[in-house]
Structure 1
Amino acid sequence: MKSKHSYSQVEKDAVYRTIAERRDMRHFVDGQLEEGLLARLLTVANQAPSVGLMQPWRFIRITQPQLKQSLKSLVESERNKTAALLDERKKEFLKLKVEGISECAELIVVALPEGREKHIFGRRTMPDMDLASVSCAIQNMWLAARAEGIGLGWVSLFDPLALADLLNMPSDSRPIAILCIGHVEKFYEKPMLVEQQWATPETVETFLYENSWPQSE
């Protein structure tokens, strides 16, 4: 039975299309974001669901060129350390573009705040629900950016302690993501790692169980 609360077919198609065409972007072109766009993206991030309505996200806008270069150096350092652990795939990994820090129009560090231990609603036995909430906020930004025709890339190759120190963050806070946001020449037809033949995505049937976890044979 179709819900009486359903959106129109055109509106639903737009939602599903945005989700399907969202990409983790690494390649950006010159050009500032239109006025008000960054504010819109941060607004939808702040509208994300959060356990206990704790809103455990903090956004640090990086505008100083020297600081951007320091972030890029942190990413490059972790990139090399990761590559060293990949054995036969090291050279293949080093060919991948993992960030667009120097080329993007806006650079945002997303972090968990200090004092999270006081929020126990929904977190007494699941303390990592604050991280899940922040992930929802980033996904909101990602989808809104794609609908606006703007690329967004989530960079996670960095030492969180080094990044926290660089940004003078409180000792019990935690950086989660470096977000590169900006104009792109085009969006990848498929996820970049698929296009670069780094990985092949599985279908949902692979991950769908019923009633219990399947027992291995």
Structure 2
Amino acid sequence: MTAGKHFDEAAVSILQDIILHRRDVRGNRFLSTPLEDQVVDQLLSAALHAPSVGFSQPWEFVLIRDTTVKQRIKASFNEENEKALPSFSGEKQTDYVKLKLEGIMEAPLNIAVFYKPAGKPVLGQTSMEEAGLYSVVCAVQNMWLMARALNVGIGWVSILDAEKVKRILHAPPENRLVAYLCAGYTDGFYTQPELELLQWEKRKMKEAVIFKDGYTPALPVIP
């Protein structure tokens, strides 16, 4: 076995910056400038080098630039967005209406990311079948970080009917839609996540989500 590459503190600092400044980009921030083929290749290469359970590489990517296809996907978003509105009430519902939650038409490139089951036993996936899906999410994260390093915006659209998207894209029946991404150059990146700036949610503190050697046992009930 040959020795792997060793990184210095400068590389660590750059990676930390990329992680801290990654953002979900909405449609009102995308520019119409097409992404160069070389840039798209860099995004996909990053995805293809993600870790995967049993080295199964269970991902497939559909690149979408056609306006008609985008319009059909956008229609699915509009339907699902209307369904989601009653889930919120009061000020939350008012704020929800104001949010621009996708960039399907504005982004020059859409990328549908699918999980394709292996159809055979996969090392490491025999107990936790969902590890295959998690592998695809790792590929999405790799792509997102590479995009940020290239100053390219990516927005993940989850308000969609996955089965309708599959039909629109003629996906094989066994494939599962994991992510629908909007990608393109942007007029700028927020200093904080947009929903944090809008106070939709507060950032969780580290102390609230990290436990040592298991969760704290419940206190005994005193009769």
TM-score, normalised with respect to structure 1? 0.93
Mapped partners of 2:183, 2:132: distance in 1: 23
Q: Does 1:33 align with 2:35?
A: yes
Residues 133-182 of structure 1: CA distance to partner in whole angstroms, max 9, x if unpaired?
01110011111110111111111111111111111112221111111111
Shift of 1:132: 0.7
Contact 1:52/1:119 (8 A) holds in 2: no
Contact 2:32/2:108 (8 A) holds in 1: yes
Residues 168-206 of structure 1: CA distance to partner in whole angstroms, max 9, x if unpaired?
112221111111111111101110111121111112221
* CA RMSD between the two structures: 1.6
Match of 1:18 in 2: 18
Match of 1:177 in 2: 179
Shift of 1:101: 1.0
Mapped partners of 1:203, 1:6: distance in 2: 32
Unpaired runs of at least 5, structure 1: none
Q: Which amino acid aligns with 2:14?
A: A
Q: Does 1:143 align with 2:142?
A: no
Q: SS where residue 116 of structure 1 aligns?
A: coil
Q: 2:100 aligns with which of 85, 97, 101?
A: 97
Mapped partners of 2:128, 2:209: distance in 1: 22
Aligned-pair identity in percent equals 33
Change (3 A) 1:120 1:34: closer
Contact 1:156/1:178 (8 A) holds in 2: yes
Q: Which amino acid aligns with 1:44?
A: A
Unpaired runs of at least 5, structure 2: none
Change (3 A) 1:76 1:120: same
Mapped partners of 2:86, 2:121: distance in 1: 39
| Larger-Rg structure | 2
Greater alpha carbon shift after TM alignment, 201-210 vs 146-155: 201-210
Runs of 4+ with >6 A deviation: none
Change (3 A) 1:10 1:177: same
Q: Does 1:112 align with 2:94?
A: no
